[in-house]
Structure 1
Amino acid sequence: MVQTAPNGILKEDLYLFNEGSAHHSYRFMGAHPIQMDGIEGVRFTLWAPNAAEVRVIGGFNDWDGSSHRMDRVGSTGVFSLFVAEIGEGELYKYEIITPEGKVIRKADPYAFFGERRPGTASIVADLNGYAWKDEEWYAKKQAKPVYTNPLLIYEVHAGSWKIKGKEDFYTYDELAEDMIPYVADMGYTHIELMPISEHPLDQSWGYQITGFYGVTSRYGTPKQLMQFVDKCHSFGIGVILDWVPGHFCKDDHGLRLFDGTPIFEGPDPMRAEKPLWGTLGFDFSRNEVVSFLISNAIYWMDMFHIDGLRVDAVASMINLHMDKPPHMHTYNYLGGPDNLDALRFLKKLNETVFHYYPDTLMLAEDSSAWPAVTSPTYIGGLGFNFKWNMGWMNDMLRYMALDPSERSHHHHLITFSLLYAFSENYILPLSHDEVVHGKRSLLNKMPGTYEEKFAQLRLFYGYWMTHPGKKLLFMGSEWGQFDEWKDSDMLDWMVLDYDSHRTMHQYVKTLNRLYSNQPSLWERDNNPDCFQWIDVHNAEQSIISFIRRGNSDFSVIVANFSRNDYHDYRIGVPEPGLYRSILNSNDLQFGGTETQPQLCYRSENVAWHGHNQSISLHLPPFTFLFFILEPGDTH
């Protein structure tokens, strides 16, 4: 017999919530329009274990909760109340009487929607009833495992991709109209949205959240977001959400000291504080917090059909000392700096997500050296299926910023990553973090003249696209935006009127298409056999050459990171035949200098680089070349 608590909540659900295993707690926590005894109304349910009393306040009672006291549900720490004859659209908050008798007002941690800032009230929203049309997309996902298929992510900040004016944002509907066809035309497989949970400060970019279940009202309603995701799927584009389970902001209406005590952040301020960000970390030892967060991950997939989560700041979650001065260091019971509760949480998170959604992307934004981040939990891993390769990104951006005359002394920066490239399932990120706060845009990191900057960025993108690992590029980088990203202004779309940016844009589009059409670049991405150096040691000339292999094809890549023009540059090739250049970054159509670059090279019976065959090339400065062997054409 199913047992119910007051207002129709199942006792089993509350038990699982207290135990840390309520994977769908959003279905009974928060504000839900329901019918009770034939009467329409809203059921409010809240976790506030140390509160002396809780009331619901809103427009329906003139923000006076004296007649709407919530009922305490046993010893669960949960309060609940059914309010008759109200429904969707009602503004509300919780008025909490703390153990000391202080009255505080809080937004609903489980609110699905809220007032647009600076307002802080929650809004009753019914998320049911949207008619999804993405069955074909889900069938395609199941048929094409992402490990052996292209993954090319376009990272987007919805508040600055395009805007209509100062703080006059595009809605989800308007973004769908403009952004989705653009992303599809450019050849990206996924859009990654920087956080769209409700947050009070635009300049936090969504990483300091007050409403983890609330779709930010800046860009529209929850159902408009559903339409955006549905349209992405109709274009064959997946949607990844930046998800921030590591910390939350301290605004009074948020989670901090929620019932007058630290129930979300935990009792130890040295452990809870995140001084670098001015936020508080979650207490992963608290079962109800685990239920809150894991349910939140499932919520985005259940209700919004999100295809994956990029889990922010994993290194900060798992290291108790991360970004903290020595006087704030705390230790686990073994005497070490590892946050054992966070590690358990991440494992449980991934196990739970993959239980319900086996084809989901769980991406760790992790700058630590923690091993086995993308290994299954049953063999000791954290259970993610991809990890950002921060080492590759830092090495390559450091290398590309060097004057070309200095690169021969730092050749290891472009080759070292292959020593560990297959230790995890990696994504190579060129994200928003690399083009802000004085770091300069990707184009402006490149040294040299105006023309050399563009040539080197094309070269860098070529190496990025052909290096093992999936790909991520931040918006605006596809046309070589000169300025840093400005979060309060829209991207510099007007630069596409200039030839250098227009041809860079065309180059990136062509490179994206090449990636998707060449199985050698993704079919065996997590297998060391997919990569073979032709010449890794040519530091003196700052040239590298290598082979990428798929199941039945291969490609040959040559990259010249120097200012020198090399004629008759010879490389070994694995098979005899005619090698056709299908991408040359120095082609005039991409802003290069070659009007009629040589397209085909017949291999010669000249042993070179450990191969019996070789070809002799013209290799201009800052040039990336991509070759395939013409099918059936052999000596």
Structure 2
Amino acid sequence: MTQKLPQLIKDDKWLEPYSGAINNRINAAKAKEKEVADNSNLYEFASGHLFFGLHKTPGGWVIREWAPNATHIYLVGNFNNWEEKKEYAFKLLENGVWELRLNEDALRHGDLYALSLHWAVDFGKRVPAWANYVVQDEETKIFNAMVWNPEKPYQWKNNSFSGTNEPPLIYEAHIGMAGEEERVHTYNEFREHMLPRIKANGYNTIQLMAIPEHPYYGSFGYHVSGFFAPSSRFGTPEELKQLVDEAHGMGMAVIIDIVHSHAVKNEIEGLGKYDGTQYQFFHEGAKGEHPAWDSYCFNYGKNEVIHFLLSNLKYWLEEFQFDGFRFDGVTSMLYFDHGLGKAFSGYDDYYSPNLDFEATTYLTLANKLIKKIKPHSISIAEDMSGLPGLAVPQSHGGIGFDYRMAMGVPDFWIKIIKEKSDDDWEVGDIFYNLTSKRMDEKVVSYAESHDQALVGDKTIIFRLIDKEMYYSMRKDQPNLIVDRGIALHKMIRLITATTAGGAYLNFMGNEFGHPEWIDFPREGNGWSFKHCRRLWSISEDPELKYHWLYDFDKEMIQFMSQHKLLSIPPVDFVMENKPDKVLAYHRGLFLFVFNFNPTQSFTDYGIPLGPGKYKVELNTDSGRFGGNDLVDEDIPYYTIPSGGNTSQHYLRLYLPARTALVFKKIDFPKVK
């Protein structure tokens, strides 16, 4: 019997030869859901955090852990001098589940604790896998779980928040480096200083990096150790909740970077050989180790692992009221070879035996669960392979992400800035690379993210201006290199944002051309915080040119937000002139005209359009953004017919070199 083709294949006939693999993927997810959750109870299945871990109950304390290879487990802490004592011994229930019950007065809020876990040939200290707060001793650097049971738990004030209902304009941020001082900053400082800034700048979604606990600060949160513990280096769980709550009160959604693609190898504070075996949470042998990341790879074929990871999603959505996730390392999850060294140049690369159905099953269940918990939630896949169906609804045969990261866009900008002179930039090529995507998927477009700002890479402003940034950024210091960099920085961000296929992202500080790369404290730099902060003062200093870039980004984002630009699906090509380096396109009522020519300005340049009247909405050449004020923004602009009234109309414009203009159509021809 022939299976019914999902809409995914109907929308792309080139997928028909792979219909068997696609249907196998879909059926594998359905079978696994039926197996673990009886086909209709995925929400209840993903409740491990309510059973495992430490909990205060009316009858006292109970702590449960899953450790199938363990022979004995003891709870140790400052309450029993870190010694194994009979009254703190766990009892084995069944299926590798261990339990310990204690009287109400046995533990107090703030107590430190861990597990002393024994297996057949050895034993070791372990921070519980389900611990919801983990702290590190400043002197010994040792991690322990902390009993977190405040007398007055946080009371939510904005429970009615149900999302922005607008395309995401995402401000990617890192709590620890969000301040100017050379130290780790806090949830409270971010809430007090950054939330108002992000709101005023027009962004409607905050993407927080490095929230789950990670032992090495410099990993940017990618080597997770405590999946259920918000990082204590930034503050307490209650302070994180207040941050999210106040963001909601301002009308902003908050999502976090979730790392379910791998885990740190650490054995005391992480999941590495948690019960004495590598294969408890991860694959055994070489398959369980990521060759490029020095980390362990989850075994998505084990129901207990799916239970752990799905419960983790539910925990963050419900306990902290986050609004979704950016799933990190999705490419690594999808393919047995982690996508390393693969070009993904054709469909055969996606549907070869290299595709891991266990991973696609987990991601399918994860997206289904997320939407069940919060229908307004956002799920984003960080994937560079381009697997068809990844960001397609499950009802159409997709895996169910709302968006995929348009990872080719920043790579494209780096390539042309690095490898081509301005005279060789081709506007048609730029437009194609920014708008090329699968029609059935939405993407998060971005010129650069934290990846491009990390040490070892360069931000766009650094590639454009380089060392001149340190000597010629005062407004009274003329410099042609800086002028070029500022002009292109504005144009690159404007064209990337306004052609975005669903959402737009910016990493904090990049909007004003932050002059320092990100280099976390490490042995190689003497554990310095010098390059692990954001210098907000330079963006607000009216004497510095960074101020121009900051003001431009603010107006650009507010323009997009006010007009809900990204909710208008089509980006309609109008014209390109390769020799002149002029490009024009429409989006709804708005016309975007770019002159990438490095030296030549054009007078009465004709843009072929239908009859209409336009006004300037945004101008990169405006003096308030560091431009030359060569365009009159106050007058209306009318199309002019080339011959009679029924002939081709042209909008005649003055286009300064390295300038972009945004027009709004404000008058329509009358219908007879």
Query: What band does the TM-score fall into relative to the shorter chain?
Result: 0.7 to 0.9
2:158 maps to 1:134? yes
Relative distance call for 1:419 and 1:181 in structure 2 (3 A) is closer
Report whether the alignment pairs 1:586 with 2:621. yes
Q: Distance in 2 between matches of 1:611 and 1:80?
A: 82
Q: Hey, what does 2:100 align to over in structure 1?
A: 81
* Paired residue secondary structure (1:65): coil
User: What residue identity is the alignment partner of 2:627?
Assistant: G
Say whether residues 1:534 and 2:550 are aligned partners: no
Secondary structure at the residue paired with 2:333? helix
Q: How far off is 1:265 after superposition?
A: 4.1
Amino acid at match of 2:536: W
Question: Would you say how many aligned residue pairs link Structure 1 and Structure 2?
Answer: 585
Rate the CA distance shift 1:595–1:544 in 2: closer, same or farther, 3 A: closer
Equivalent position SS for 1:630: strand
Aligned to 1:438: 456
> In the alignment, what sits opposite 1:44?
63
Aligned to 1:196: 211
8 Å contact kept, 1:309–1:363:
yes
8 Å CA contact 2:117–2:123 kept in 1: the answer is: yes
Kindly report structure 1 stretches of 4+ aligned residues shifted beyond 6 Å: 632-635
Contact 1:32/1:125 (8 A) holds in 2:
no
Q: Map 1:433-472 onto structure 2 (within 5 A).
A: 433-446=451-464, 449-469=481-501, 470-472=503-505
Q: Structure 2 CA distance, aligned partners of 1:502 and 1:396?
A: 23
Q: CA deviation at 1:352?
A: 1.2
- 1:480 matched to 2:510: no
Q: Whole-Å Cα distance in 2 between the matches of residues 439 and 232 of structure 1?
A: 31
Task: Report if aligned partners of 1:265, 1:272 keep a CA contact under 8 Å in 2.
Answer: no
The Cα shift of 1:322 comes to 2.2
Q: 1:335 to 1:71 in 2, by over 3 A?
A: farther
Name which of 495, 499, 502 aligns with 2:538: 495
State how 1:328-347 maps to structure 2 within 5 Å: 336-347=353-364
How far does residue 632 in structure 1 lie from its aligned partner after superposition? 6.2
Shift of 1:130: 2.2
- 1:280 match: 296
For the structure 1 residues 633 and 380, does the alpha-carbon distance in structure 2 shift closer, same or farther, using more than 3 Å as the test? closer
Does 2:224 correspond to 1:209? yes
Q: Mean alpha-carbon deviation: is it higher for 373-382 or for 594-603?
A: 594-603
Q: How does 1:367-382 map to 2 (within 5 A)?
A: 367-382=384-399
Residue aligning to 1:173: 188
Q: For structure 1, which segment, 223-232 or 540-549, has the greater mean C-alpha deviation from structure 2 after superposition?
A: 540-549
Distance 2:341 2:491 in 1: 40
Alignment of 1:291-330 (within 5 A): 291-322=307-338
Aligned to 1:355: 372
Distance 2:647 2:337 in 1: 50
Give the C-alpha shift of residue 584 in structure 1: 0.6
Query: What is the rounded CA distance, in whole Å, between the counterparts of 1:363 and 1:232 in structure 2?
Result: 20
Q: 1:421, 1:434 → 2: CA distance?
A: 25
Are 2:168 and 2:504, in contact at CA under 8 Å, matched by a contact in 1? yes
Q: Give 1:595 shift.
A: 5.7
Structure 2 letter corresponding to 1:42: W
> Which one is further off, 556-565 or 264-273?
264-273
Structure 2 CA distance for aligned equivalents of residues 611 and 25 of structure 1: 69
Question: Do the aligned residues in 2 keep the contact of 1:587 with 1:597 (CA within 8 Å)?
Answer: no
User: Is it true that 1:405 corresponds to 2:423 in the alignment?
Assistant: yes
Aligned to 2:9: none
Question: More displaced, 426-435 or 440-449?
Answer: 440-449
Once the two structures are TM-superposed, the CA of residue 634 in structure 1 deviates from its matched residue by 6.8
Are the aligned partners of 1:53 and 1:97 in contact in 2 as well (CA < 8 Å)? yes
TM-score (norm 1): 0.87
- The amino acid of 1:126's aligned partner reads N
**1:108 is matched with which residue: 128, 132, 155?**
128
Distance 2:435 2:174 in 1: 31
| Paired residue secondary structure (1:61) | coil
Contact residue 374 and residue 382 of structure 1 kept, 8 A: yes
**Equivalents in 1 of 2:618, 2:500: separation in Å?**
18
Deviation at 1:98, TM superposition (A): 1.2
1:396 aligns with one of 413, 428, 436:
413
TM-superposed deviation, 1:150:
3.3
Contact 2:445/2:505 (<8 A) preserved: yes
> Against the structure 1 CA distance between its residues 114 and 267, is the aligned structure 2 distance closer, same or farther, given a 3 Å change threshold?
same
| Aligned residue number for residue 420 of structure 1 | 437
Q: Does 1:559 align with 2:574?
A: no
Deviation at 1:324, TM superposition (A): 5.5
Which 10-residue stretch deviates more, 437-446 or 592-601? 592-601
Separation in 2, partners of 1:135, 1:633: 47
Contact 1:399/1:414 (8 A) holds in 2? no
1:544 aligns with 2:583: yes
The residue type paired with residue 207 of structure 2 is E
Match of 1:97 in 2: 118
TM superposition shift of 1:492: 2.4
The reply on whether 1:506 has 2:542 as its aligned counterpart is no
In the TM superposition, what is the alpha-carbon distance from 1:240 to its structure 2 partner?
A: 0.9
Tell me by how many angstroms 1:631 deviates: 4.2
CA contact (8 A) 2:392 2:401 kept: yes
The equivalent residue for 1:244 is 259
Structure 1: runs of 5 or more not aligned = 1-14, 327-333
CA distance in 2, matches of 1:436, 1:173: 25
CA distance in 1, matches of 2:438, 2:415: 18
**Residue of structure 1 in register with 2:243 after alignment:** 228
1:501 is aligned with what amino acid? Answer: Y
Task: Give the match's secondary structure for 1:96.
Answer: strand
Contact 1:543 1:559 in 2 (8 A): yes
TM-score normalised per structure 2: 0.83
Q: Specify the alignment match of 1:69 in structure 2.
A: 89
Describe the shift of the 1:346–1:616 C-alpha distance in structure 2 as closer, same or farther (beyond 3 A). same
